Structure 1
């Protein structure tokens, strides 16, 4: 990176982290500059790496001219910015996208969850598998709201299931925090080594 690029990156990093103190002009400047640049970069990259090759290969090369119908439907997303008389046209691509996504979800994900449920049935001859099965069963009991409501044993198992779920959510949240700390350390290393020239 050149000196100018390093200074711009350092300013953008400090401007973003200045929000931890309070919202200020520099944070607003970084927000209104970096987000449009990132969106423009993604759009340009997708246009040259995905859309243009697709046009050359499938539409122009194979003669699949009917693909332009999907492009036209996709352009209707922008109808929401038209006057109210035509803005309702944006509902068509939304309905197509939602329907397509739901159809794909119901056709693909049941197998994934079925594999996970099958993995929950393990050989109970090992202590770890017994512990896993008990944690799985009590966690599932927490979501059974229509049966066992008056059973003391069921309520106790559901209570244990809630604690197990909270431990799992806490571990997931801790993993997220550790990932954010890793990102912060990367930016801190950039500021100290590349920008200030401090040897670590």
Structure 2
């Protein structure tokens, strides 16, 4: 399938950086996979703030797929431990990713979770796309892990501090044919977007006492 080209809309233009990152991600993915099939990409709004939430079963490959094939250029919310991998750190910095300093990683002293959430909310207020893996870690389980509350808290913060924004939350599913086998296929499926207002009508917000990690 022909890749969807990134649409305009969002943070200040970084055409060379974003094009280089996207091109490198696609180059690597074209080697690893026979096909990356996109289904329902029209569900991601062409402009305006959006949070893309995805399942996380294939470590850094999941991020590479979002970077290479989302119709808009994303910024990632990622645990600070990702920067510990020296070959990966330059790409995380270049992509404009937001670091999250989690207590479980022993990094809470290095930065404030509230500051990370505020940075993410400001990114959304600028019309950007934030990519999040709300399970909080990569895994091999056949079912989704319980979501952390960080995504919901960022969405609420963005709307209350900077809104109303009409922020859309777009679920995507990454379905690997055989994730640990070379040259197989992966299907990248977009679900219907949900606004923060719609989510608020559906039930109470996140409990601040629950694990807020991203």
Q: Same fold (TM over 0.5)?
A: no
TM-score (structure 1 length as normaliser):
0.20
Structure index of larger Rg: 1
Which has the larger strand fraction? 2
TM-score (structure 2 length as normaliser):
0.19
Using CA pairs below 8 Å that are at least 6 residues apart, which structure has the higher relative contact order? Answer: 2
